Amino acid sequence: MNILSIDASTKSSGWAIFENTKLVDYGCLTASSTDLIKRIHKIVDGLNEILQKYKIDKIILEEVRPENGLQNIQTHRALMWLQGQIAVMTHDNHAAVAIEYVYPNEWRSKCGIKTGAGVKRQSLKSADIKFVKDTYNLDVNDDIADAIGIGHAYVHKLNNEINWE
C-alpha cells in the first residue's frame, strides 16, 4: 500500500510517501502569494502532481483543529478551505484514492512524542524534527518532519488501531 501523508498549510505543506512501511520520498510545497486562494491553488496543484507521479492508495491528512480551542479564526478558515480543496481535487482527479484524517496528538503519541497540557507548539515541532532525525537519520524542516511523523504513525501503528473519523 502506498501512502501520501500530508501536513497541510497554505504557506508550507510537508508531504511524505510510504510504500508499505518504507519512507521513499518526501518534500515541501511552498506558496508565498499574499492571495490566499492563489496559495491554496499552488499547494493543491503540487499535491496533484505528486498523486500523478506515484501510485497512491491512501492520503493521510492531519486534521484541522483550533489550537487550545481558540486558534485565529482566519487561520482556521484558511486551513479548512485547503483541506476541502484537497478533498475535492482528490475526488475529481484520483477517485480511487481514499483520504483519512488523524489528529496531531494521535500521530505524535504513536511516535512517542509527548503532547497535552503545558506542551507548547514550538517544543512539539522540535520533538517532531528530532523524531525524524533519530528514526530516519534525516535533517528536515518541521513541515516535512510532521508529514513523515504522520505517515510513520499510520504505517507502523495506526492503520489497524484507530477509527480516524
Q: What are the extents of the domains in the chain?
A: 2-160
Dihedral over alpha carbons 52, 97, 113, 148 (to 10 degrees): -10
pTM for the model? 0.89
| pLDDT computed for residue 163 by the predictor | 44
| pLDDT computed for residue 116 by the predictor | 73
Pairwise CA distance, residues 5 & 61, whole Å: 6
Handedness of CA 42, 43, 44, 45 (dihedral sign): positive
pLDDT tens string for the chain (165 positions)?
899 999 999 999 999 999 999 999 999 999 999 999 999 999 999 999 999 999 999 999 998 876 545 457 888 889 999 999 999 999 999 999 999 999 888 899 899 898 777 777 778 889 999 999 999 999 999 999 999 999 999 998 766 554 433
- The answer to whether residues 33 and 17 touch, using CB atoms and an 8 Å cutoff, is no
| pLDDT computed for residue 64 by the predictor | 82
Write the CA distances from 164 to 28, 46, 128, 137, integer angstroms: 24, 25, 21, 29
Superfamily of domain 2-160: Ribonuclease H-like superfamily/Ribonuclease H (3.30.420.10)
Provide the grid cell at 4. Answer: 501520501
| pLDDT computed for residue 158 by the predictor | 62
Query: Nearest to residue 151, comparing CAs of 92, 91, 102, 96?
Result: 102
| pLDDT computed for residue 93 by the predictor | 96
| pLDDT computed for residue 32 by the predictor | 93
**CB-neighbour burial class of residue 154 (10 A; exposed 0-12, middle 13-18, buried 19+):** buried
- The answer to whether residues 5 and 151 touch, using CB atoms and an 8 Å cutoff, is yes
Residue 6, H or E segment: strand 2-7
